Amino acid sequence: MGKVISIANQKGGVGKTTTSVNLGACLAYIGKKVLLVDTDPQGNATSGAGIDKGEVQQCIYDVLVEDANIKEVIRATAVDGLYSVPATIQLAGAEIELVPTISREVRLKRAISAIKDDYDYIIIDCPPSLGLLTLNALTASDAVIIPVQCEYYALEGLSQLLSTVRLVQKHLNHNLMIDGVLLTMLDARTNLGLQVIEEVKKYFRDKVYRTIIPRNIRLSEAPSHGQPIILYDPKSRGAEVYLDLAKEVAANG
């Protein structure tokens, strides 16, 4: 049975999409079968995995709102073993269109349950909000990974995210676990980064991944080439650390 993992934080620019694409690709690289589900209307995890959004006929919107069969939306990517459920800007409407619908929080869970056995990991890239799309992702998930940027105010907003996770655990999904907090975009030359690491570890203790993602220019270049780092520059530090993270995540089950 596949493990479903949401990559969530309502703050934008903390490394959710970079982590979704590259953790997904690296899990595939170490031999797992992975489905990358994009639930952000920006569709960055879609294009980052090499899928041309202009050519997408059906996307996650059709699954969530139109009850399309998720199997018909899945695309292969250039990475062996990595598949994608794309998102296009059409998804922007879903946040509002889902409001009056029945079982609006469990639509993604239902869709994924039909294909859970076909994959080792299903990685869901969340949008930067705590709206219905993120609720659908958390409700469908066994675990959540919370990327935290090694910057000022790193912990800001996290209590809101954690109380959302608790509400989902209580009312929608008893099985949801926080798999871990991932420190991202560390600039090791500054004291600030090290202070943030200390602070986050004090708060989350053993929930913080050993792997810390440094700032790496190749990681920021890869999306414009539509390639996960493992294809764009497999020898880069960025590829190395996301491979480490994939092994750490796989070791957690």
Binding site for ligand ADP (CB under 6 A): 12-18, 44, 128, 184-185, 213, 215-216, 219-220, 223
Region of 44-52, 131-139, 151-159, 212-220 interacting with Mg ion (CB under 5 A): 44-52
219 binds, among Mg ion, ligand ADP, none (CB under 5 to 8 A by kind): ligand ADP
Q: Cα–Cα distance between 141 and 161 in angstroms, integer?
A: 15
Interface with Mg ion, residue 16, by CB under 5 A: yes
Closest to ligand ADP by CB, 18 vs 84, is: 18
Instruction: Give the shortest CB-197-to-ligand ADP separation in angstroms.
Output: 14
Indicate the pairing of strand 75-76 with strand 82-85: antiparallel
Q: Cα–Cα distance between 195 and 211 in angstroms, integer?
A: 16
Residue 116: Cβ within 10 Å count: 16
Instruction: Give the shortest CB-40-to-ligand ADP separation in angstroms.
Output: 7
Residues 6+ apart with CB under 8 A from 150: 183, 184, 185, 186, 187, 192, 193, 196, 197, 212
Closest to ligand ADP by CB, 111 vs 213, is: 213
Interface with Mg ion, residue 11, by CB under 5 A: no
93 binds, among ligand ADP, Mg ion, none (CB under 5 to 8 A by kind): none
Give, as ranges, the residues between 65 and 124 that touch Mg ion (CB under 5 A): none
215 binds, among ligand ADP, Mg ion, none (CB under 5 to 8 A by kind): ligand ADP
C-beta of residue 140 within 8 angstroms of C-beta of residue 7: no
Instruction: Give the shortest CB-17-to-ligand ADP separation in angstroms.
Output: 3
Closest of 142, 140, 185, 137 to residue 161, by C-alpha: 137
Closest to ligand ADP by CB, 58 vs 222, is: 222
Instruction: Give the shortest CB-183-to-Mg ion separation in angstroms.
Output: 17
- Residue closest to Mg ion when measured from CB atoms: 17
Interface with Mg ion, residue 17, by CB under 5 A: yes
Identify the helix (H) or strand (E) that includes residue 197: helix 191-204
Instruction: Give the shortest CB-171-to-ligand ADP separation in angstroms.
Output: 26
Instruction: Give the shortest CB-185-to-ligand ADP separation in angstroms.
Output: 5
| Residue found under tokens 């800007």 | 89
The torsion angle over the Cα atoms of residues 133, 137, 138 and 144, rounded to 10 degrees, is -120
C-beta of residue 229 within 8 angstroms of C-beta of residue 239: yes
C-beta of residue 234 within 8 angstroms of C-beta of residue 33: no
Judged by the rule CB under 5 A, the positions of this chain that interact with Mg ion are 16-17, 44
